[in-house]
Chains A and B, each alone.
Chain A
């Protein structure tokens, strides 16, 4: 694949471990520069290049409602990993305003005590709206962080929208962070995100009702269909600012990693990686779908609305257009 001299020097700096080069690569992967043919060649070439460097990091997804303590928990995990001399990157995803497209990214503020530590890299990411777009850029950014060689990557998302929940699933292990203030067991029972969690953390466990809430969660989990040798998500309690329960969380994460390694076929690590690859491909398809329908103009949709042409037909035409444009 052809790369430009500019890209070559950027990649050299990236491989030389320069933080600024990593930061710039992340920007390019996130933004998707478009060339004159309207194609995002720079991002794609870079992505291929950094993917080839790929060492595998342990990727932990941390998701949960706003204010549950995801960033503070990440901060506590960083301290544990750093104490062992392992390097950590954090991708902290916060929502963009649906009105202005802007965002206030405030996750970093919870991790400031690691600010002078060169073994910690924190990057804030705004969702930037588009369906599929976020998933695509987050997967690409993960590959860059892996290529840079971090031991651990924490991927923090607000687990409220479908796309954010989807993103957490590209992780090897998904931690769902809840608080005792999050309602009773029925709330957790009906919340769809419970199913994606490999570990459940009841943070702010010094609040009243923490034990009752934890028991309700365990109860809800036991109702699920799980086999004798399948992974049963543990319910842990933490108080993130004081570090209470963090070493238990680290242990549980390691047990999950071991489980993934030992069950390396159907549900294990390889399955996770395949799932992630499938997810990346699907995200690209979704992104195209979003762009094609966005560019198609209202006339064609009004014909669909009036029943003159079927949605399937239009979709086929759009796909053919996509094919033609990428072949030319």
Chain B
């Protein structure tokens, strides 16, 4: 029986969240919609999340990646905290990426921290889709 091809691409599961006190969720919603339209499953957590709630959701949902949208200027803090919690859970295989109003001079430090991709205003949604398809590794 050869009903479905054995190497059929797996459906990617992505968490999209906004950490902290930042009420602007249009960007997060646009990304969520774009990922859905690219055939991914988006677990949308929305506004005012803590690092704990984000990592907890990512574990339970067995997510492939976590995308954070931050427009409040507190990106260094939130990315660091989420990364540390992922590390504590031995879950660094979950790809951490994000976007928002993030100054260019902060990008090297974010990448150094373990953030795998950062998308700032002007980035095309197709870039985010391609990034995820390239960076998410096969599980098990």
A residues neighboring B (CB under 8 Å)? 6, 10, 19-20, 23-24, 26-28, 31, 33-36, 38-39, 96-97, 99-106, 108-109, 112, 115-116, 121-124, 126, 128, 288, 290-292, 294-295, 321-322, 325-326
Contacts and interface: CB of A to CB of B under 8 A. Distances in A.
B39 to A, nearest CB: 4
A103 B45 contact: no
A38 B62 CA distance: 24
A109 B45 contact: yes
Chain B contact patch, size range: 35 or more
Interface of B: 1-4, 6, 8, 10-11, 13, 32-33, 35-46, 49, 52-53, 56-57, 59-62, 89-91, 139-140
Contacts of B41: 96, 102-103, 105, 124, 126
B91 A20 contact: yes
Given A97-B36, A115-B52, A38 B2 contact: yes
Sorted nearest first, the 8 A-B pairs with minimum C-beta distance are: A291-B3, A102-B36, A325-B1, A23-B62, A115-B53, A27-B62, A101-B39, A102-B39
B46 A19 contact: no
Nearest to A36: B6
A121 B61 CA distance: 9
A294 B3 CA distance: 7
A115 B57 contact: yes
30 contacts: A6-B140, A20-B62, A20-B89, A23-B61, A24-B62, A27-B13, A31-B11, A33-B140, A34-B4, A34-B6, A35-B6, A36-B6, A38-B6, A39-B1, A97-B36, A102-B36, A102-B37, A102-B38, A104-B33, A108-B57, A112-B45, A115-B53, A115-B57, A122-B57, A122-B60, A126-B11, A288-B1, A290-B3, A292-B3, A326-B1
B139 A104 contact: no
- Output the residue of A27, A123, A128 with the most chain B CB within 10 A: A27
Contact of B35 (A10, A102, A109, A325): A102
Contacts of A126: 11, 41
B66 to A, nearest CB: 14
A105 B44 contact: yes
Given A100-B38, A102-B38, A288-B1, 20 more contacts: A20-B62, A20-B89, A20-B90, A33-B140, A34-B4, A36-B6, A101-B39, A102-B42, A103-B41, A104-B33, A115-B56, A122-B57, A123-B61, A126-B41, A291-B3, A291-B4, A292-B3, A294-B3, A295-B2, A325-B1
A22 to B, nearest CB: 8
B92 to A, nearest CB: 12
B1 A108 contact: no
A116 B85 CA distance: 13
Contacts of A6: 140
A38 B1 contact: yes
A149 B19 CA distance: 32
A162 B76 CA distance: 48
A27 B1 CA distance: 23
Contacts of B60: 19, 23, 121-123
Nearest to A23: B62
A116 B3 contact: no
A292 B62 contact: no
A35 B91 CA distance: 26
A109 B25 CA distance: 14
Contacts of B90: 20
A74 to B, nearest CB: 15
A121 B60 CA distance: 7
Contacts of A290: 3
B90 to A, nearest CB: 8
Contacts of B33: 104
Nearest to B17: A109
Nearest to B6: A34
A104 B45 contact: no
